[in-house]
């Protein structure tokens, strides 16, 4: 026997779950949550070994060399997907509130909408209309947003459910992630990714500053659709109708801020488009991007992480590099995160 194998105490059940050759054991090894080591031997010789430290019960260990990386059971491990060169539609919020809705309003076969919260009547109108056109419309949101769910959002989700839209929220003891914070939609063969929530203060054009992009690049669209199916298809995706029972909802504050400058949506050429997903692959890809920067780095964040976290270390390395300037050649200076 050569190559990769799956070792299990339940070979009959595992054979239908993997393409690897399945090797049965008389009993599964008992591993300690506080740390342990595992050795694979053949004829008295050690073939491979791995050691791990503390972990939580029920997590999945992914072996990387001689160490183990732990992640929640059911969590994805998606690769970075590259869409290549082409054109994308870019927009800012609150300046262009129609831009994130355009793909949904034209959809006829499918709409997968992922978000943290959803309380916008305009977004709900577009989703209900797509459902009436015969599209498969699904929504996945965070089950326990910070500060609680507003009455306006609960009413919106009730309306979607009654219209035949499949609404789930990520919640419960089996939740794989601390928050379902993604904000995107897949509509037929187009996808929109944005920074803002599907609510009046975000996509409604009434308050928060944000950005977004719409793309039709097949690999990116397919990658987002696969991410949605993986997140909505796990046991922590609870039907809204079940989750709302016994819940109390908060009174929301109106969104009435405005910005003095308008930026229209624009179609722009891009050299490449990469789809990053957290927590699967985004941090390492962003660190590589920061380390490869040759001219400038501008960071716009509501907060920054700890001084020794990977992204901050990459910014510190960049601040120590020599950067070219058009006027004077090369000099050393510091870029500030803002």
Please report which confidence band the pLDDT of residue 326 belongs to, taking 50, 70 and 90 as the band edges: low
Whether 248 has a pLDDT exceeding 70, the answer reads yes
Provide the pairing of β-strand 86-93 with 36-42. unpaired
Please report which confidence band the pLDDT of residue 327 belongs to, taking 50, 70 and 90 as the band edges: low
Q: Determine which helix (DSSP H) or strand (DSSP E) holds 266, and give its type and residue range.
A: strand 266-270
Q: Where are the domains of the chain?
A: 5-72, 81-243, 281-332
- pLDDT value of position 1: 61
Cα–Cα dist 246/223, whole Å: 36
| Cβ neighbours for 261, distance < 8 A, ≥ 6 positions apart | 95
Tell me the mean pLDDT in the region 167-188: 95
Whether 337 has a pLDDT exceeding 50, the answer reads no
Whether 334 has a pLDDT exceeding 50, the answer reads no
- pLDDT value of position 203: 93
3-state class (DSSP) for residue 182: coil
- pLDDT, averaged across the chain: 89
Phi, psi of 89, rounded to the nearest 5 degrees = -100, 120
- % the chain with pLDDT above 90: 63
Query: What length is written for the chain?
Result: 338
Architecture of domain 81-243: 2-Layer Sandwich (3.30)
Q: Structure pTM?
A: 0.84
Residue-wise pLDDT for 287-299, tens only, equals: 999 999 999 999 9
- pLDDT value of position 152: 95
3-state class (DSSP) for residue 316: helix
**Token digits of residue 326:** 């058009």
- pLDDT value of position 74: 87
8 Å CB contact between 200 and 160: no
3-state class (DSSP) for residue 184: strand
Whether 312 has a pLDDT exceeding 50, the answer reads yes
Tell me the mean pLDDT in the region 172-191: 95
Residue 136 has, within 13 A of its CA and on its CB side, a CA count of 7
Residue-wise pLDDT for 79-106, tens only, equals: 999 998 999 999 999 999 999 999 999 9
């Amino acid at each position: 026997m050569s190559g990769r194998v799956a070792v299990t105490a339940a070979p009959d059940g595992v054979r239908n779950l993997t393409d690897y050759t399945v090797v049965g054991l008389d009993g599964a090894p008992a591993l300690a949550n506080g740390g342990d080591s595992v050795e694979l031997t053949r004829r008295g010789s050690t073939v491979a070994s791995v050691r791990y430290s503390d972990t939580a019960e029920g997590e999945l260990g992914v072996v990387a060399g001689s160490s183990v990386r732990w992640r929640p059971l059911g969590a994805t491990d998606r690769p970075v997907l590259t869409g290549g060169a082409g054109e994308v539609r870019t927009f800012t919020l609150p300046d262009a509130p129609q831009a994130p809705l355009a793909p949904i309003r034209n959809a006829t076969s499918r709409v997968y909408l992922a978000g943290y919260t959803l309380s916008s009547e305009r977004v709900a109108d577009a989703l209900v209309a797509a459902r009436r056109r015969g599209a498969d419309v699904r929504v996945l949101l965070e089950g326990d947003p910070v500060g609680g769910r507003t009455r306006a959002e609960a009413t919106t989700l009730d309306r979607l459910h009654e219209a035949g839209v499949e609404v789930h929220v990520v919640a419960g003891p089996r939740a794989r992630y601390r928050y379902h914070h993604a904000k995107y939609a897949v509509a037929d063969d187009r996808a929109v990714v944005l920074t803002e929530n599907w609510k009046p203060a975000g996509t409604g054009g009434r308050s928060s500053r944000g950005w977004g992009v719409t793309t039709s690049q097949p690999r990116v669209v397919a990658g987002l659709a696969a991410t949605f199916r993986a997140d909505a298809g796990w046991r922590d995706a609870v039907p809204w109708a079940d989750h709302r029972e016994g819940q109390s909802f908060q009174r929301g504050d109106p969104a009435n801020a405005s910005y003095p400058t308008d930026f229209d949506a624009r179609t722009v050429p891009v050299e490449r488009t990469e789809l990053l997903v957290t927590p699967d692959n985004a941090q390492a890809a962003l660190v590589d991007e920061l380390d490869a920067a040759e001219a400038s780095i501008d960071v716009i964040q509501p907060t920054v992480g700890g001084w020794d976290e990977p992204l901050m270390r990459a910014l510190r390395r960049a601040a120590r590099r020599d950067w070219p300037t058009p006027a004077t050649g090369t000099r050393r200076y510091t870029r500030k995160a803002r």
